[in-house]
Amino acid sequence: MNTHIQHICEDELLNAIGNGLMVVSEDGVILTANQDMETITGFSRKELIGADCTILGCDVCEKSRSDSKDNWCMLFEVGKIKNKRCLLTRKDGTYISVSKNALVLKDDEGMVAGALETFIDISEMDKKDQKIFELESRLNQDTGFFGMVGRSTPMRTIYQIIEKVADSDAPVIISGESGTGKELVAQAIHELGRRREGPFVKFNCAALNSSLCESELFGHTKGAFTGAYRHRIGRFEAAHGGDIFLDEIGDIPLSVQAMLLRVLELKRFERVGDNRAVHADVRVITATNRNLQEMISQGHFREDLFFRINVVPIHLPPLRERREDIPMLTEVFIQELRTKNSKAIMGVAPDLMNLFMNYRWPGNVRELKSVLEYAFCIAPPGIIKLEHIPAYIPLPEELKSASLSGTVATAPTFENDTAEKTALLEALCLCNGNKSQTAKQLGVHRMTVWNRMRKYGIHLTQNIDQSWDTDGSQTKSHQ
């Protein structure tokens, strides 16, 4: 077989493998590579062959090289690498996730001749894993309009706006108090938009300091700073082709705001420790519970960034401004809790729903859900009653009056905390500290006794024994 035909056969064999493949010499020079390697790396075979293997910027290989005794690739010491997950740096500067296998080649005399390395592109697998995670996170929210519950006029308006802006690539900013459901709005925009097949990446801007925030958003190269042992794909790169949701945008450090503005304007960014620009095809959705215009006047937020993200504003009303949705929200949350816990809770008592309708809900929908989760834990099967909710929620005046007049079956109410504390101490004393009997004495749930004891700092060995005389009268020391 002549040399020309031999080369053709070798090329066909290399290209028939189906994975990226290359052979490197003992000193790390790429001797050959196949077409799949071109596809994975973005480099042509001409650019690869003869180049040092460090051209691929493999974070695992670099770490092995630096740890090696003789400052050469550790592969030649260990003999083989199997299913090693790593990041390669493509010609355009983007990272690609691959599974790497490698084997040292030896000649007939047992001398090292080089190494055979294969690479499997697992970036699509990573994307599928991300999509599965997104879907799993929404399993218990698949009610109403993409997890948002309510038929009030303000909510219907929100749904209409979401449907109109979803197909646009314009930046969206969602404002509203904490707990109003801003993340659900962002998720709905993604699911309805043209990028729904792409990733939906979330990031809380208040979670990290400026340096870590920059690394999380834009990624970093190995060795960019102390502790950067591997390459890292940033949130913008991970969101390529999809949407990125930046929650609490008002808390993003000023130094990072300038970088974010550049991404929005140029669709490019640079990783920490790298000077190559990476393209970012991403739609940006932000959210805040702060007054950004006030922050601008105080010098805490860039005005140019505000104008860039404030293209399509969506404001979520607090729960107190859409009280008509409270019964539906309560029903949906109880149904979710019943499904999770298999507990026969059928609903809430009328007087409790009356309380829900009158309470201001400073924590909004999130607080309502938390209150019901608490009640679900302590209430017996049947109906959730007033005594099953946290003690910090005050009774409205009309419910207090109804309770005192006997028209509402509820736990005793008191004019002030002193009276409530005194009644609790007296009941605990009469019941010798037995909390179950104390609850019966007061006509409340046992957990309510626990809550009030914590509220007033009552400890049985201290308050009961030291605060009451043997004849049952209260001592002045308790006052």
Sole residue written with tokens 């974010």: 260
Per-residue pLDDT of 252-299, as tens digits, reads 999 999 999 999 999 999 998 888 888 989 999 999 999 999 999 999
- Separation between Cα atoms, residue 65 and residue 71, nearest integer Å: 6
Beta strands (DSSP E) in 144-275 are 172-175, 200-204, 243-247, 268-270
CB contact burial 373-383 (16+ within 10 A = b; e otherwise):
ebbbebbeeee
Q: What would the two tokens of residue 78 be?
A: 């260990």
Per-residue pLDDT of 325-375, as tens digits, reads 999 999 999 988 988 888 888 889 989 999 999 999 999 999 999 999 999
Give 242's pLDDT tier (boundaries 50, 70, 90). very high
H/E segment holding residue 282: none
- Nearest-CA neighbor of 377 among 411, 341, 431? 341
Contact 429, 468 (CB under 8 A): yes
How many Cβ atoms from other residues are within 10 Å of residue 434's Cβ?
16
Task: State residue 341's pLDDT score.
Answer: 83
Give 412's pLDDT tier (boundaries 50, 70, 90). very low
How many Cβ atoms from other residues are within 10 Å of residue 189's Cβ?
28
- Separation between Cα atoms, residue 448 and residue 445, nearest integer Å: 5
β partners of residue 468: 474
Give 38's pLDDT tier (boundaries 50, 70, 90). very high
Per-residue pLDDT of 462-473, as tens digits, reads 444 444 433 334
- Separation between Cα atoms, residue 170 and residue 315, nearest integer Å: 16
- Separation between Cα atoms, residue 145 and residue 282, nearest integer Å: 24
Greater pLDDT, 370 or 434: 370
- Separation between Cα atoms, residue 97 and residue 240, nearest integer Å: 14
Q: Which fold has domain 126-317?
A: Rossmann fold (3.40.50)
- Separation between Cα atoms, residue 260 and residue 265, nearest integer Å: 9
Q: Could you tell me which residues come within 8 angstroms of residue 249 by beta carbon, excluding any fewer than 6 positions away?
A: 173, 205, 286, 287, 288, 292, 309
Residue 116 pLDDT greater than 50, yes or no:
yes
Contact 282, 242 (CB under 8 A): yes
Sole residue written with tokens 């607080």: 367
Q: Could you tell me which residues come within 8 angstroms of residue 471 by beta carbon, excluding any fewer than 6 positions away?
A: none
- Separation between Cα atoms, residue 219 and residue 205, nearest integer Å: 15
The domain segmentation of the chain, as residue ranges, is 3-121, 126-317
In the chain the first and final C-alpha atoms are separated, in Å, by: 106
Residue 414 pLDDT greater than 60, yes or no:
no
Q: HSE (CB half, 13 Å, CA atoms) of 337?
A: 25
Contact 21, 56 (CB under 8 A): no
CB contact burial 387-414 (16+ within 10 A = b; e otherwise):
bbbebeeebeeebbebbeeeebebbebe
Q: For the residues 185-199, what does the mean pLDDT come to?
A: 93
CATH assignment of 3-121, given 3.30.450.20, 3.40.50.980, 3.30.1330.10, 3.40.30.10? 3.30.450.20
Strands 200-204 and 277-279: unpaired
Per-residue pLDDT of 193-223, as tens digits, reads 999 999 999 999 987 888 889 999 999 888 8
Residue 476 pLDDT greater than 60, yes or no:
no
Task: State residue 310's pLDDT score.
Answer: 96
- Nearest-CA neighbor of 445 among 368, 404, 389? 389
Q: What would the two tokens of residue 1 be?
A: 């077989």
- Separation between Cα atoms, residue 317 and residue 175, nearest integer Å: 9
β partners of residue 95: 89
Q: Could you tell me which residues come within 8 angstroms of residue 153 by beta carbon, excluding any fewer than 6 positions away?
A: none
Sole residue written with tokens 């009303």: 317
Contact 427, 438 (CB under 8 A): yes
Q: For the residues 10-25, what does the mean pLDDT come to?
A: 74
Q: For the residues 35-39, what does the mean pLDDT come to?
A: 91
Percentage above 90 pLDDT, the chain: 44
Per-residue pLDDT of 435-465, as tens digits, reads 877 776 666 667 777 777 877 777 765 444 4
- Nearest-CA neighbor of 174 among 235, 247, 114? 247
Q: Could you tell me which residues come within 8 angstroms of residue 342 by beta carbon, excluding any fewer than 6 positions away?
A: none
**pTM surpassing 0.85?**
no
Percentage above 70 pLDDT, the chain: 80
